Structure formats: structure tokens, C-alpha cells
Amino acid sequence: MPPPMQRPQPFTPGTPLSEHYLVEGLVRLAEGRMFYIANDDRADRPRRFCWECACDDTLRSETTCVSCGADLSPRRFLVAVRWDQAGFRPFADFFERRIDHPAFAAPVDMFFQDNVMCTVTPWNGEGVLVDEASPLSVERSLYIAQRMTGLLAFLHQKGVSLGRLNLAHFLVRTTQDEVEYFLFDPDIQRVQDGPVPEGMRGRELPWLAAMVRRLVPVGANKLRDFFSKGKDGIFPAPFEFGRAIEEMMEAEPLGPHSISAAMSDVGLIRSLNEDNWGWGQLSADVELHVVADGMGGHEAGEVASDMAVEIICREARRRLEQQPQVTPHALENVLEESFRSANNAIKDHSERMGSDMGTTMVATLLMGKQLAYVANVGDSRGYLMREGVLHQVTRDHSLVARMVEQNRITKEDARHHPHSNILLRTVGTERDVDVDIFSVELSAGDRLLLCSDGLWGEVDDEDIEAILNAYEDPRQASRELVRAAHYAGARDNVTVLVITV
């Protein structure tokens, strides 16, 4: 298999695309995609194209179509660019079918230019779901799952199987009184004659479930468990998944007692996001939050960070349930042992696969509003924000951090040091890894920030502090932190998790 093509050079503003479009600007990068806003105001063309009747006889000086009288004021479009050639043919087949469904933002055009495939969707101010921080409300998460499950069933009837789903494949339209979600520019696995066969209809559900699970608030354990089952593939088809969602809609969710938000982003240079994060309520009084940053080529990093998050969440809950009494000491043990379980499971897996995958991980166990334990391996960090001042809680297990501690280089040198990526300790590389655990006695108004080096490597602590001070709301703060990393170049994946006690 040839190596996947790297993210291509972006189109610059003013680039003409195909026959009708002119690039206004690049608006977003996502895994495997670049999104542009374009318009159809082409000064290089003597005549205007009519989208209603396809007539192209109207002079540029006119504003209504000479054939049908339609308004020809410039229109705007979202142009999605993809470069993975394996996806071209299935999408072209899908486009031919002209699928129309209320939960689908249908493309009006597709074409190839400079070895990339462009799809064109009318744009009326919609945003992409990948730009929103988690969580959404329980109701909204369930609503998205239900709406997309209905669409999946419809697509299967039409012979369409989707490829991997992620947040970048959804548009969000916000109007005065409602928010609506649309599937947009999906990866297509296959288009066939006749409906998708019965045994194949559960394929997309684990991706959908995994995606929606990330949108669910910390305290909504039942719902997260439900989507975890979906991720494990227990639903054979959209029909069964949809019926189970209906039942969940009637169940009472648990209220969260911390207010947390998270966001993970591929950044501006990489084409794969190897960061992961997760959270969960382990008991009425205890919450876990995790960020992991995977490494090791060929998707191994993504697997390692996903395993780390899954295992620590599952193990911490299981171990906590076995504690006769939840004391601070017991909690510290639970965190350390769960961390080690994740480490050893990844080590076993990488030995079996003959790969050298690993991940950093930072996790915090929050006990009520009084106490937090923060544990880390590698250079993902935990920070405490107290009375407007940011404090780094964890110590990086990296070569440059050690050099700073030994006063051989300054903190500022470390940031640009050629060996800044060398880690001295990672999860999954050695059996029984040493885990650093810090305890923090919490005061009212404290906030915790967990993040991968894609944030702190790009954005100074002073700027992180300023953003946290400027944005009380953790979802807004998360979004602004990711934006700041983008502003600084976002050479790496960026993941942030903000917890307000």
C-alpha cells in the first residue's frame, strides 16, 4: 500500500475552483479534510450561472437569470477538500445517487482539482461540530444519535454504507430558536444496487456511538455506558440502536457536580489526531478525567492513546467499586493501579503486534469539591488555576524538563530545543511504569486543566492563564485554548480538558 498522501498545500484566497467557484478562504482543517468558503462570483467569466435552471447566458452586469428570472446575487458554498484517493470512487458513486434526506446536507457539485477531490455544499452560516467543545446536554447528545441513526437506516435502504464517522462530518445550523445537525461530506465505504445486506447494517454504529459518547457530560454515566456498548458493536442495525435510544430518552440522567469541558483537535499540520481524552463519574462523589497523547507510526499512537483512556476509565471504576470505604488513600491507590493496568495492557498489545506504540497520560481523580489527585507519565500536563493564577501541577518526563531542573537550559530554551520531543517515560513502553501522583487540596473556584503538549508547546503559560481568566465557561475556554494553539501554528494535535470545581 502506498503511504497516505500528506495534507496538500491549501488553496489561497482568490483561487478559481472548477467552473463556478472562487475561494474566499480556508475556514477549518480536520482529519483528512480542509474546508473552504467559496462563492460563485467569478470576475473571469463573462456570464453568470443560474443554479435554478442551469442557464449560463446571463451577462455579469445582470442580476437576474435571463431564462427563469431567478436572483443571481453571489452565493456562498462550503467546499470540502479530501486527498485520500481510496475514498474518491465510492464518494463519486454516492454523489451520483443524489441522496436527499432532512438530516443530510447534500452536495450540489463535486470535481477534482490538483489531485484532490472537492465537494460543494450550499453554505448559510453553518459551523462544523468539530469546532464545539464537549459536552452537549444529555438531550442534545441523544437527539444527534437518534437523528443520525434514522439517516443511517435510510442510507442502507439506498445501498449506501458510510466509512468512519467523526465530528468533522457534521454541520451545526443555529437559528434563533433551534440548533440542527446535518451529516455532511461523509466518507463512503460502498454504494451498491439494492439495500445494504442485513449482516452489514451494524458497521457504522460503533463509530457513531463512540462519537456521541464524547459529547455526553461527565455525570451522565448511564448514557456513557450505553454508548460504550454501542461502540463495542452490540447493536446489529440502526433499527435496534434507535429503539434503545428511545428507551434511554425516557431514563433519568445523573446531574454532574463538576462542570467540565473538553476538545481535541488535529491541528494545522498533522493529518491524524493521535490524542484522546475521556471522563466519567466513578461514584456519587468521585470523577475521573484523562488526556492521552499517543505515539508510534501507522495509527499505533491513536490505538495506544485510545486504549489508555478506555482502560483507565474502566479499571478505575471497577477498582473503586471494590473499595469498602472511599478514603483519600484508597483513591490514590485506585488511580495508580488503574494507570498501571493501562500501561501493562498497552505493553502486552504492542509486544503481540510487534510495534513500539506508547502514549503519555495525565489523569485526575476528583473527590467531591475537596481533593484532587493528578497523575501523569510523559509530557501531557495537569495545571491548577487558583485565584487567577496558573500553576503547573505535574512534572514532564522529558529530556528537556530534566535539563531545566538541572539548570542547564531555561524554560524558554526548552520550548524550542531540538530534543524537546524526547520522553523519558511513557505509558506502554516498560512494564510497571512509575507514575507520579500529586494531591491538590481544592478551594472554591479552583479550576484544573489537563492538556497535551500540542497546547503548552504552542501557547505560553501566561497566555493559557489569560484565556482561562477571560473565559469562565469551560466550553468557551476549551475552544479559545484550541484557537490559541491554531494561532501559534498548531504543529501538533491539541487536546484540552477544563474542570471547574
Residue 458 contacts Ca ion per CB under 5 A: no
Q: Which residues contact 468 (CB under 8 A, 6 or more apart)?
A: 385, 390, 447, 449, 477, 481, 498
Select from 50-58, 66-74, 233-241, 445-453 the region that touches Ca ion (CB under 5 A). Answer: 445-453
| Whether the Cβ atoms of residue 340 and residue 433 lie closer than 8 Å to each other | yes
Q: How far apart are CA 203 and CA 238, in angstroms?
A: 10
Closest approach of Cβ 112 to Ca ion, in Å? 33
Q: Which residues contact 456 (CB under 8 A, 6 or more apart)?
A: 381, 464
Instruction: Count helices and strands (H / E) in the chain.
Output: 12, 24
Residues 37-76 touching Ca ion, rule: CB under 5 A, are: none
Closest approach of Cβ 206 to Ca ion, in Å? 26
Q: Which is nearer to Ca ion, 40 or 492 (CB)?
A: 492
Q: Which one of 148, 450, 492, 499 is in contact with Ca ion (CB under 5 A)?
A: 492
Q: Which is nearer to Ca ion, 187 or 265 (CB)?
A: 265
Closest CA to 311 of 342, 275, 354: 342
Q: Which is nearer to Ca ion, 215 or 455 (CB)?
A: 455
Residue 453 contacts Ca ion per CB under 5 A: yes
Q: Which is nearer to Ca ion, 121 or 452 (CB)?
A: 452
Closest approach of Cβ 242 to Ca ion, in Å? 37
- How many residues form the binding site for Ca ion (CB under 5 A)? 5
Closest approach of Cβ 271 to Ca ion, in Å? 14
Q: Which is nearer to Ca ion, 276 or 452 (CB)?
A: 452
Q: Which is nearer to Ca ion, 185 or 453 (CB)?
A: 453
Burial of 121 (0-12, 13-18, 19+ CB in 10 A): buried
Closest approach of Cβ 399 to Ca ion, in Å? 15
Q: Which residues contact 7 (CB under 8 A, 6 or more apart)?
A: 29, 34, 83, 269, 270, 271
Q: What is the 3-state secondary structure (H, E, C) of 320-376?
A: HHCCCCCCHHHHHHHHHHHHHHHHHHHHHHHHHHCCCCEEEEEEEEEECCCEEEEEE
What is the DSSP track for 280-302?
EEEETTEEEEEEEEEESTTTHHH
Give the x/- contact pattern for Ca ion in 396-435, rule: CB under 5 A.
----------------------------------------
| Whether the Cβ atoms of residue 362 and residue 431 lie closer than 8 Å to each other | no
Closest approach of Cβ 361 to Ca ion, in Å? 12
Q: Which is nearer to Ca ion, 202 or 294 (CB)?
A: 294
| Whether the Cβ atoms of residue 306 and residue 207 lie closer than 8 Å to each other | no
Closest approach of Cβ 494 to Ca ion, in Å? 8
Closest approach of Cβ 380 to Ca ion, in Å? 8
Q: Which is nearer to Ca ion, 263 or 367 (CB)?
A: 263
Closest CA to 170 of 137, 201, 215, 138: 215
**Alpha-carbon distance values, 250 to 115, 142, 239, 245 (Å):** 49, 11, 18, 9
Q: Which is nearer to Ca ion, 248 or 263 (CB)?
A: 263
Q: How far apart are CA 145 and CA 227, in angstroms?
A: 10
Q: Which is nearer to Ca ion, 293 or 480 (CB)?
A: 293
Closest approach of Cβ 336 to Ca ion, in Å? 24
Select from 48-56, 234-242, 258-266, 486-494 the region that touches Ca ion (CB under 5 A). Answer: 486-494
Does an H or E element contain 439, and which?
strand 436-441
Q: Which is nearer to Ca ion, 302 or 453 (CB)?
A: 453
Closest approach of Cβ 407 to Ca ion, in Å? 26
* All cell numbers assigned to 51: 443554479
Q: Length of the chain, please?
A: 501
Select from 30-38, 185-193, 247-255, 289-297 the region that touches Ca ion (CB under 5 A). Answer: 289-297
Closest approach of Cβ 464 to Ca ion, in Å? 16
Residue 306 contacts Ca ion per CB under 5 A: no
In 3-state terms, what secondary structure has residue 104? Answer: strand
Residues 104-133 touching Ca ion, rule: CB under 5 A, are: none
Q: Which one of 132, 204, 293, 302 is in contact with Ca ion (CB under 5 A)?
A: 293
The residues binding Ca ion (CB under 5 A) are 293, 452-454, 492
